[in-house]
Structure 1
Amino acid sequence: MNAIKELAELGTSTWLDDLSRDRIDSGNLKEVIENKAVVGVTTNPAIFAAAMSKGTAYDAQIAELKAQGEPADRAVYAMSIKDVQAACDIFADIFEASGGADGRVSIEVDPRISADRDATLEQARELWSKVDRPNVMIKIPATPESLPAISDALAEGISVNVTLIFSVARYREVVAAYLDGIRRAEDPSKIHSVASFFVSRLDTEVDKRLEEIGTEEALALRGKAGVANARRAYAVFKELFEDLPEGAHVQRPLWASTGVKNPEYPATLYVTELAGPDTVNTMPEATIDAVLEQGGLHGDTLNGTAEESEKIFQQLDAVGIDLEDVFAVLEREGVEKFVDAWTELLDSMDERLS
């Protein structure tokens, strides 16, 4: 049994945080499933920007779209949808075997509309319909304006990956939106959802501020905020999902941004320390490889950690870290980074189409 399968035994599903036409056409995605025990895929605007800006895998479809006179945004989504459909088909057996929990492939709404409830819901419907696969998940950011769209999408039977969650306070709102949606759904048993908590970006921002403070107490807290924050969220998950409507599924926490940004930290930090029941960890392939090579799992590292994690946050507050500001900055920058990647991709595609 490899370490990814051990992780699954602990209750954490491993999804790959990457997708491209090359990966699909070469058979690499199937190999990753077979050899590395990956059971799902997540995408985002930055991933598709990287995939479509290099190589020749998309050339034939771009030529077709150019002949049809498609604008850049519609062309990008046409190519993304084709990739997601192919990936959904590859994961179909895992989807069936897991009862719909895994075998999932995520595609994100346009990040530029994250502050527009109606536009977000409309695009969620469009992507759900166009991908036309039961194992697709529509990614919607957890901005205040998008939370009602998340509820409405779930109520219509659309499986949603709620993304860009940084704070436990926002996570409580996400769970409330999820519960509202499935209570209004005709058949909640067909709906699955994950709540994507971003981990490494929190350490990056908090560590920068700790280093600016520079005291011994502050520096000793570097690299601790991300794991502690996710563990606090997991405690909330356990609290809020004690009672569910009949037939409904829990909305699993998904640990995202799990590739370490600081090379001084273990490459498997956000995997070994966030293993436990009813969770997903979406990893870059380099992180998956590190887990396979290094192992290092030491059981369930989520249950029973809430008190210790709260102490870390109290210590961060005591040394002068304004956590509310940290979360506000990360949410704003998270949307901005995806908008920038999307805009860059559209500009590049516009040149190729014209």
Structure 2
Amino acid sequence: MKILVVGSGVAGICLTHELLQAGCEVVLIDNDKNASSVVAAGIINPLVFRRMTLSWRVSELVPFARKKYTELEQLTGNSFFHPLVIRRLFASEQELGFWKTKQELPEFSEYMETLTEDDLNFPLEQNTFGTGRVKQASYIDTNAFIGANLAYFQSKGILFRETFDHGELNAGQAIYKGHSYDFIVFAEGKDARYNPLFSYLPLQQTKGELLTIESTGIYAKESLNRKCFLLPLGNNRFKVGSTYAWDTDDTIPTEAGKQAIAENLKSVTSEAYTIVEHKAGVRPTVPDRRPLMGLHPDYPKMVIANGLGTKGYMIAPLLMHELANHLLKGTELNAESHISRFPYTRHS
């Protein structure tokens, strides 16, 4: 099969690898403009702290991601996957109670360390209600990941840096600029909002800002989390984030975003730091917090792979594996990911 993939963020990269591994001829194009997959912290966290619940499909997604990223490190000859301990600083007695209850449940014990006296009395000023450690967490060095994989595709001669032109597309026959494809997959991130084929879907553009800071005093053995995440990068540097601004597609860092992160960081540390870098990206999110995947109702050779949101690096490897199998073998997509859950109105 010959397949065109539009977009080289984490979804497009993972899908392209799946298709190449299956023996497909792949063309990958990207406009090189949206930096959300690079700006993202790349944290893989199996828990949702707000209600102390498990992430969606965590028992499938986490081991698959670990395996896939390790394979891609070997394939590209680069290092970007890093195991991580996340220490949650509990925000209330209720949150502490949730952890104590759930750590005993088999489905949670895989991801929660049993609380110890050291956890409860962890020596930070901000430790008011105790702390808990997350198991099976990790993070992706996003700059290294994107750079290594795009260099790999460049070496294969399949990566083209250009903007997709819908005026050159025959959607019914899957012909683009005179070339015929079995499928054209749109993994455009935030720019899917402007794709006339899939504009009926409720994709949201959610801006997020991140700081990279430097400090010799901040605890760097684990990733600390409360109101924000503090991710140690080595050499006294940390990523801190993040913010949420809805319905905007600009990637310009703001003073308000910087101040919001700085205020949230006070809930984790009071140590002095300097800001090294301030970046912003726009996440493709969906109101029901599930991805957008599937074939277009009228043009079944047109495919969308989008809406991975804040968990993109955790869910992309397995979901793109499932999408490749759907296209090549006809296997069913997970119903919660399928675009059929949203009504389609045929345009005249």
Indicate whether the TM-score tops 0.5: no
Between structures 1 and 2, the one with greater strand share: 2
Larger CA Rg, structure 1 vs 2: 2
Between structures 1 and 2, the one with greater helix share: 1
